[in-house]
Amino acid sequence: MRFLLTTLALAGVAAACGDDHTHDARDGHDHAHTKREFPSSPLAPPSRPLTWGALNILHTTDSHGWLLGHQKTSFPEPNYSGDFGDFASFVSHMKELALKKDVDLLLVDSGDLHDGTGLSDGYAPGGVDAHASNQFFKELPYDVLAIGNHELYIYNNTLDMHQNFAPRFNGRYLSSNVNITIDGVSKPVGSRFAKFKTRKGRAVTALGVLYDFTGNDKNTTVQPVEAMVKEAWFAAAIKDEPDLFLLAGHMPVSRDNWPLVFNAIRAVHPITPIIILGGHSHIRDCLQLDGRSMSLESGRYMETVGWMSADLAAPKHERRHEGEDHGSGQGSDTKNITFSRRYLDPNRVTYEYHTGRGNFSFDTAWGRSITKGLEKLAKTFDLSFEYGTAPHDFTINQAPYPSNDSLLSLVEQAMPIALTVNNTRASTPNIMITNSGSLRFDIYAGPFTKNDQLTASPFADSFLYIPNVPAVVAKAVLPALNGAGADERRRDESMEAELWARGYVGTRYREWIEEMYRRDVVEGGEARRAAANLTLGYVTSDACPGVGDDTPHAPLEFHSIPDFIASAAPAVADDAPIDLIFVDFIETQLIGIVNSVQKDKVFTTADVSQYTDILATELLGIFAQQAWN
């Protein structure tokens, strides 16, 4: 089910719309109006209109295939129920509003289109991840896009982006520090930078930067950001002063290397406006590195559409024409810039509120065609195939661990059942270990489908094992992995840094949602939530002035989880030989741990074999077929 509109917002949105004619930027008038269905859960409307400036930006990042919207009824899922067709209609109407206001509106994406739902990952054997779902991304009029780390784990995915995705955007798909090697020649996956003019004539120099990622596949290259800013091409790209530097990149706006890029530009252009649109850590975040810049990050999984406005001066060529530039090379406007930012919940209520459209007039023919195309792709991939019926919600952080409602506890229960199917080593006692970061999304009560399987666990990790490990040693591995004791904690910090470099964002995201829940508890949020009748969702605190969230919510309950989990240890003697089974993603760390908790043998990769042909993406489906039918 797709959640489309609510009684709560219907009257206000419909009243704001003077007619029921849809004006589509691509298809003209659409007179085939259809009243949209009501949702099963009411959605709160935005708290206030958007602040428009001379320059405005709509921002997406870390969409990870979530193009059909969030379809479950448990909150906060209905907040994010708009699909990519709804978003396309929203963009069309916002472009129309920008024309009426005679201002600039840009559409920007900061990467990670792969790995996350059945639309991206549910392709048949021999296919390429996200190739089909990216066709819909190519439908939207993005002005700038940047590469993400998930475009680099598999060479064929990167090649597909280079050959079939980047050309659609005519030099605006940016990979400033990312190359692909084809026939022995290393070249940018997209473009190093782009220079263009907005509709109002503002000159823009854009870069697309990836954080210092190390988990890329062979024949792809990620240059460290520190080295990139020393390149001759970078100096040449920023030499001439534009009206605006637009730095779109897959790198968090806080606690990462954006200041290296920012400072390199500021050394040449001390007061030129700089806008940074980041990603990767899956959070809503904003900060200002100085008074003439703003940095925005817009969440994950199409749970957020970012909005930024800036009261920029007129383009340089207009100021010169009017005699305001005085030959300074920087323009006469040196004051701090007034920025605004907003984090929008992507649903029909939000979209209709901000476009002044009603239930009959919001949809464009273009948007509806995208929705129908996505639904057809879901059918082609058989994403509604049911493995079983989940008896209740299983969440990663909202339920305590361990508990019956914990997804981690469910996986601990599922591994011994699923991984021993048709396995010749099924009778050998074992301990099975995986990282909690491999679980990317909650499971909700009701039909557990192929799409649900891929959203909960999208990474096609293999399961490996070391045979004949003494039980006492195998039992010591999980506590050591989770950092029990000072030495282990130091090792855990090193491991976290390595996992971050390889693309693991779970810790940073969990820190963020934990902080919002703890802050709410300290501030006595329970009484405030009850008085305001707030639904669950994100409650953002960032470093920019004012309130960033477009719609007020109450935060989700949060419970800490370990970085690694394991099946129950077998009841055998300490010296009994057992199989130690683990996902290949943690192979290096696990071998190091095994060698640290015993001195009888030095284990190496030569001691490791594949345990089963079953991949992590299949584990929960196999379990559901056996346990939930």
What is the rounded CA–CA span in Å between residue 410 and residue 42? Answer: 30
13: left (phi over 0), alpha (psi -120 to 50) or beta: alpha
Q: pLDDT tens across 411-420, in order?
A: 999 999 999 9
Structure confidence at residue 27 as a pLDDT band (50, 70, 90) = very low
If 0-12 CB within 10 Å is exposed, 13-18 middle and 19+ buried, where does residue 104 land? buried
Place of tokens 């284990």: 603
Tokens of 307: 């909005």
Q: pLDDT tens across 523-553, in order?
A: 776 766 666 789 999 999 999 999 999 999 9
pLDDT at 492: 63
Q: pLDDT tens across 108-128, in order?
A: 999 999 999 999 999 999 999
Domain ranges of the chain: 52-379, 385-506+560-627
Domain 52-379, classified CATH 3.60.21.10, yes or no: yes
Residues in the chain: 629
CA distances from 86 to 24, 113, 351 (A): 12, 18, 8
Beta strands (DSSP E) in 512-613 are 564-566, 577-583, 609-610
Whether the predicted pLDDT of 151 surpasses 60: yes
416 CB contacts (<8 Å, ≥6 apart)? 430, 432, 567, 568
Homologous superfamily of 385-506+560-627: 5'-Nucleotidase, C-terminal domain (3.90.780.10)
DSSP secondary structure letter of residue 165:
I
Whether the predicted pLDDT of 10 surpasses 60: no
CA distances from 286 to 62, 256, 275, 544 (A): 16, 13, 11, 6
What are the DSSP calls for 99-164, one per residue? HHHT-EEEEEE-S--SSSSHHHH-PPTT--TTHHHHHHHTTS--SEEE--GGGSSSHHHHHHIIII
Mean pLDDT for 266-285 is: 98
Q: What SS3 state is found at 229?
A: coil
**Dihedrals phi, psi of 363, to nearest 5 degrees:** -65, 140
Q: What SS3 state is found at 300?
A: coil
* Average pLDDT score over the chain: 91
Structure confidence at residue 39 as a pLDDT band (50, 70, 90) = low
What are the DSSP calls for 450-465, one per residue? HHHHHHH------EEE
DSSP secondary structure letter of residue 549:
B
